[in-house]
Amino acid sequence: MYDGIKKAMGPTKKWRVSLKSATGENIQDKGKQMDRCVEHYSKVYSRQNTVTEAALNTVDGFPVETELDEKPTMEELKKVIESLSTGKAPGKDGIPPEVINCGINVLLEHLHDLLCQCWDEGAVPQDMRDPNIVTLYKNKGDRSDCNNYRGISLLSVVGKVFACVILNRLQKLADSLPRVTVRVPSREIHNRHGFLLKAAAREMQRTAQAAIPCLHRPDQSF
């Protein structure tokens, strides 16, 4: 199908333009353009979010949920794999969701063993954490300005599967907590518990920071 579309539409048009540095100077060298992109996204994703001690003190404490420490089960992993969306771009490892979904009968036990090993060690392989960041032009504004490109993170599907297993557990915990309202300028956020907001913000920040050294830009992006 895709071969037919490519023949009908003709060859892909590749854009090769210069980028502007932070001070407005033109950059022609491809390597230096990559460095400029890293600099740009480092600035975008390194914003610090802070929560005051007074705000944390208003949150009631809850008993320790020891069941969260239990290893993920085969059923939990299978449920996430079966819910994978198809047609999504793969991450750094090049494994699309269709491969994992269609090969679930063969891969399930091996993936479960890997997940349990990561659980015991308290860490996951770096390749499952590092995304490729593809820059897409917004079709408006100066092409040489990094602000006119949108960074899309392509994450490892296996890594996302493991993250969803943990997310499902946290969601069950969140659903059991009383609702609270967090007020921020111009809007109100209704959520289950304040500490979940803080934990989510920290995790998002760590993920963004881990993505910066793994920046990848195909030629057709610029």
pLDDT in tens, 196-205: 544 554 454 4
* Per-residue pLDDT at 14: 58
* Per-residue pLDDT at 181: 53
* Per-residue pLDDT at 130: 84
> Would you say residue 185 has pLDDT above 60?
no
> Would you say residue 56 has pLDDT above 80?
no
pTM beyond 0.75, yes or no: no
**Region 136-152 average pLDDT:** 89
**What percentage of the chain exceeds 90 in pLDDT?**
25
Most confident of the following: 67-71, 117-121, 178-182: 117-121
> Would you say residue 23 has pLDDT above 80?
yes
Q: How many residues does the chain have?
A: 222
Structural domain of 15: 2-221
**Number of separate domains in the chain:** 1
61 versus 19: the higher-pLDDT residue is 19
> Would you say residue 75 has pLDDT above 90?
yes
pLDDT in tens, 90-113: 888 888 999 999 999 999 999 999
* Per-residue pLDDT at 67: 81
45 versus 113: the higher-pLDDT residue is 113
